[in-house]
Amino acid sequence: MASIAYQTALQAQSTAQNTKDMFLKPLTSGAVAAAGTALLFSDLAGTKFKIGGLQIPVPIVLGGAVAVGSIVSELLRQYAFSSFKQGEALSLAIGGGINAGAAVGTIAVLDKIALGQIGMVRLGGLGVASEVIGDQLYHRVLKSLF
């Protein structure tokens, strides 16, 4: 009886941690992307895109795109790669690729001229770096705080 209660408690704790990872880690990667955009693309950091009638600054747009890509990365980490020994590294590599695509794709959809000005390589690098730095920041520092 005590063993069943213990297993149930462990499962509930694991589910709560997975939920935190699903939302807090992508927010961390998105914040890294927004800060990186403001620092690396200072020429465009003040530019705003009109989305749904709102004027949204480029750092927020790219931060949001990377956060969404990071959610996909976390889903892959938790459900597709959890049983593989190399799952963490593999999901991080795929997550970096997803975020590179998210950053490039978002700007390509919103403004093709801006895509040419910024450059696909710079945007892709921002996506990859944001995923890797955000992942490390969350798992090594922030996760222990929450």
Give buried/exposed letters for 57-66 (b at 16+ CB in 10 A, else e).
Answer: bbbbbbbbbb
Tokens of 93: 């590599």
CA–CA separation, 24 and 146 (whole Å): 9
In a structure prediction context, what are the per-residue pLDDT tens digits for the chain, which is 146 residues long? 556 655 555 555 556 677 777 888 889 999 999 999 888 877 777 888 887 788 888 889 889 888 888 888 778 777 776 666 665 677 778 888 888 888 888 888 887 777 787 788 988 998 899 988 998 898 889 888 87
CA–CA separation, 66 and 104 (whole Å): 10
Q: Helix, strand or coil for residue 119?
A: coil
The confidence score (pLDDT) of residue 129 equals 92
DSSP 17-85: HHHHHHHHHHHHHHHHHHHHHHHHTTTTTT-EEEETTEEEEHHHHHHHHHHHHHHHHHHIIIIISTTST
pTM score = 0.77
Tokens of 142: 């922030």
